């Protein structure tokens, strides 16, 4: 099995001159083309653009600059725009679409010296929890090839877990960073809504979407977060508050930190082995000096119905622009404008995307708006108030990330409701706009196969530095990051 090298160690090697600026990026491209392709994690690898980025970094280093992510290869979820590279969102309707600009997060990664190296597979338009909805093939979990890596950022999580790249960018609308992180034994951070610019992120649910990092270590996630966070005038929803340095107190531990334990995130509906891992994590943090506080988030059971009204309503509006007329693929054989639209969207959009557009359009339609969308927004306020009341008594809350370990491919595709329920523990953070972090807590045995478990931490708005600090303690009490997955890179 390949030796794991953190992004922080890669950058240090490049900055000290011990490693050539393009070494790790070229290595990552090779790994993505082999292991990444075998897993179904990769959609595109652009070596020409990679080499141009390496050349630009070499000039900066020669001028004495010391960027924080110098030479670190980063995988990019395929709903984040990269200049003159395909950005398909995992959809046939955008199969040939090349973005005319870089997303803000891409600009900031490159400013920090990182090298984006590949576009990674995802559920179509980020709609899914298993990366089985991609128009370009399923992605497999490198811990067990018969299981899902989660979704919608499944390709990003699988590429990191398999050792193809040390870090990747995903997006999280209802758990799409955190659920894959839990399923693949990686670290996943969903920042506060508006903390990271959405300029250049193809929209799904505009009041819910947030870009964040997936990494093998908490420190690497913190470094990437520090590079991409902050105000962006091109995103009217981005927050102007200064970004607290997430590395400054990363090793400060949890002594004196009040950790809330909500019973709703440790219920009997959660796999007993996962519940035990979370409880053991809580015990270990208490032994490190954390103060445990019982709290309640009573409206948690309403998170999924609320989310699937708000998210689908926003999706029906956002996806109206994807009609095959202005970009992407246009279906052949149309005889008039209406049939052209029907063919383009009927053939270009997959069944899950069509289902969610129809749900959202129905919820917004005349006569149903008050019964569904308006009521969902009222419940959304109640969910946010639950967290406000909890954070009046504690600094962060802890719980499970998913009700089950990674499930088998095909296990839930015939029952959309069961697939939606996979996000029951993650959607609330998006509805409330608060940050959430998932950190591995070892593995459990599933019929002779080791499957990762992820512990979820949630905090008040703009508390990313504290979450990462507590997450680092979780990582430490479980003896560091997990190794590269069994079906990851071998050399």
In eight-state DSSP terms, residue 313 is H
Q: What is the pLDDT of residues 125-152, one digit of tens each?
A: 999 999 999 999 999 999 999 999 999 9
Calculate mean pLDDT across residues 166-174.
98
Q: What is the pLDDT of residues 69-121, one digit of tens each?
A: 999 999 999 999 999 999 999 999 999 899 999 999 999 999 999 999 999 99
Dihedral (CA of 66, 71, 72, 77) sign: positive
Calculate mean pLDDT across residues 241-263.
98
Q: What is the pLDDT at residue 2?
A: 64
CA 418 to centroid of chain Cα atoms: 21
Q: What backbone torsions phi and psi does residue 294 show, to the nearest 5 degrees?
A: -75, 125
CB 267 within 8 A of CB 301: no
Query: Among the options 8, 77, 92, 463, which is catalytic?
Result: 77
CB 193 within 8 A of CB 224: no
- pLDDT confidence bin for 235, thresholds 50/70/90: very high
Q: What is the pLDDT of residues 21-67, one digit of tens each?
A: 999 999 999 999 999 999 999 999 999 999 999 999 999 999 999 99
Residue 144: strand pairing partners = 141
Query: Among the options 8, 129, 152, 428, which is catalytic?
Result: 152
Task: To the nearest 10°, report the CA torsion of 170, 402, 8, 60.
Answer: 10
In eight-state DSSP terms, residue 1 is -
Domain span(s) for CATH 3.90.1300.10 in the chain = 7-257+469-477
In eight-state DSSP terms, residue 246 is T
181-192: buried (b, 16+ CB within 10 Å) or exposed (e) per residue?
A: bbbbbbbbbbbb
Active site residue 176: yes
Q: In angstroms, rounded to a whole number, what is the distance separating the alpha carbons of residues 344 and 92?
A: 10
In eight-state DSSP terms, residue 274 is H
Q: In angstroms, rounded to a whole number, what is the distance separating the alpha carbons of residues 270 and 260?
A: 18
Q: What is the pLDDT of residues 52-62, one digit of tens each?
A: 999 999 999 99
In the three-class reduction of DSSP (H, G, I as helix; E, B as strand; rest coil), residue 55 is classed as: helix
- The predicted model scores a pTM of 0.97
Q: What share of the chain is helix, strand, coil (3-state, %, to 5)?
A: 40, 15, 45
- pLDDT confidence bin for 1, thresholds 50/70/90: very low
Residue 327: pLDDT over 80: no
Q: In angstroms, rounded to a whole number, what is the distance separating the alpha carbons of residues 253 and 26?
A: 36
User: Residue 5's closest CA among 167, 157, 129?
Assistant: 167
Integer CA distances (angstroms), 39 to 137, 162, 319, 479, 488, in order: 10, 9, 29, 27, 9
Active site residue 152: yes
Q: What is the pLDDT of residues 385-412, one digit of tens each?
A: 999 999 999 999 999 999 999 999 999 9
CB 162 within 8 A of CB 488: yes
Q: In angstroms, rounded to a whole number, what is the distance separating the alpha carbons of residues 149 and 142?
A: 8
CB 216 within 8 A of CB 187: yes
Residue 221: pLDDT over 50: yes
Q: What is the pLDDT at residue 111?
A: 98
- pLDDT confidence bin for 459, thresholds 50/70/90: very high
Structure tokens at 289: 């000096």
Calculate mean pLDDT across residues 318-345.
80
CB-based contacts of 153, cutoff 8 Å, min separation 6: 77, 120, 122, 126, 168, 170, 171, 172, 176, 177, 180, 188, 214
Q: Are strands 436-446 and 42-44 parallel, antiparallel or unpaired?
A: unpaired
Q: In angstroms, rounded to a whole number, what is the distance separating the alpha carbons of residues 98 and 84?
A: 5
Q: Are strands 258-262 and 436-446 parallel, antiparallel or unpaired?
A: unpaired
Q: In angstroms, rounded to a whole number, what is the distance separating the alpha carbons of residues 109 and 116?
A: 8
Residue 379: pLDDT over 80: yes
Packing angle between helix 464-477 and helix 272-287, nearest 10 degrees?
100
In the chain the first and final C-alpha atoms are separated, in Å, by 6
Query: Among the options 6, 8, 171, 176, which is catalytic?
Result: 176
Integer CA distances (angstroms), 301 to 17, 22, 282, 383, in order: 53, 48, 23, 10
Q: In angstroms, rounded to a whole number, what is the distance separating the alpha carbons of residues 422 and 225?
A: 26
In the three-class reduction of DSSP (H, G, I as helix; E, B as strand; rest coil), residue 307 is classed as: helix
Q: What backbone torsions phi and psi does residue 372 show, to the nearest 5 degrees?
A: -115, -70
What is the CATH T-level fold of the domain 7-257+469-477, as seen in this structure? Amidase signature (AS) enzymes (3.90.1300)
Calculate mean pLDDT across residues 170-189.
98
Q: In angstroms, rounded to a whole number, what is the distance separating the alpha carbons of residues 313 and 125?
A: 14
User: Residue 265's closest CA among 477, 458, 412?
Assistant: 458
């Amino acid at each position: 099995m390949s030796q794991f090298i953190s992004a922080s160690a890669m950058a240090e090697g490049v900055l000290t001159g011990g490693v050539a600026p393009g070494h790790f990026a070229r290595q990552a491209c090779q790994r993505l083309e082999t292991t990444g392709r075998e897993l179904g994690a990769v959609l595109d690898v652009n070596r020409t653009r990679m080499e141009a980025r390496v050349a630009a970094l070499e000039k900066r280093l020669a001028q004495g600059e010391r960027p924080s992510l110098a030479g670190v290869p980063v995988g990019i979820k395929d709903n984040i725009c990269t200049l003159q590279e395909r950005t398909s969102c995992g959809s046939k309707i955008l199969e040939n679409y090349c973005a005319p600009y870089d997303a803000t997060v891409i600009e900031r990664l490159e400013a920090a010296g990182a090298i984006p190296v590949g576009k990674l597979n995802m559920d179509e338009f980020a709609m899914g929890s298993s990366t089985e909805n991609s128009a370009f093939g399923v992605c497999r979990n490198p811990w067990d090839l018969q299981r899902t890596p989660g979704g919608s950022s499944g390709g990003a999580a699988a590429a990191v877990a398999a050792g193809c790249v040390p870090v990747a960018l995903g997006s999280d609308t209802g758990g799409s960073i955190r659920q894959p992180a839990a399923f693949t034994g990686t670290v996943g951070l969903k920042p506060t809504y508006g903390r990271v610019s959405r300029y250049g992120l193809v929209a799904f649910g505009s009041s819910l979407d947030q870009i964040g990092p997936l990494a093998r270590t908490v420190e690497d996630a913190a470094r990437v977060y520090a590079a991409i966070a902050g105000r962006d005038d091109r995103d009217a929803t981005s927050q102007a508050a200064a970004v607290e340095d997430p590395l400054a107190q990363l090793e400060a531990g949890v002594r004196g930190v009040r950790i809330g334990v909500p019973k709703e995130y440790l219920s009997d509906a959660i796999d007993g082995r996962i519940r035990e891992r979370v409880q053991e994590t809580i015990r270990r943090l208490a032994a490190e000096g954390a103060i445990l506080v019982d709290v309640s988030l009573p409206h948690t059971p309403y998170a999924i119905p609320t989310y699937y009204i708000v998210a689908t309503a926003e999706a029906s509006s956002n996806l109206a622009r994807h009609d095959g007329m202005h970009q992407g693929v246009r279906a052949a054989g149309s005889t008039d404008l209406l049939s052209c639209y029907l063919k383009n969207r009927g053939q270009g959009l997959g069944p899950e995307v069509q289902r969610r557009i129809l749900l959202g359009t129905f919820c917004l339609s005349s006569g149903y708006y008050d019964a569904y969308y308006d009521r969902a927004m009222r419940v959304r306020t109640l969910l946010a108030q639950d967290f406000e009341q909890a954070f009046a008594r504690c600094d962060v809350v802890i719980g499970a990330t998913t009700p089950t370990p990674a499930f088998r491919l095909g296990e839930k595709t015939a029952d959309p409701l069961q697939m939606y329920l996979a996000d029951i523990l993650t959607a609330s953070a998006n509805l409330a706009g608060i940050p959430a972090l998932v950190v591995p807590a070892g593995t459990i045995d599933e019929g002779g196969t080791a499957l990762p478990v992820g512990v979820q931490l949630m905090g008040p708005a703009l508390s990313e530095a504290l979450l990462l600090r507590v997450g680092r303690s979780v990582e430490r009490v479980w003896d560091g990051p997990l190794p590269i997955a069994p079906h990851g890179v071998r050399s």
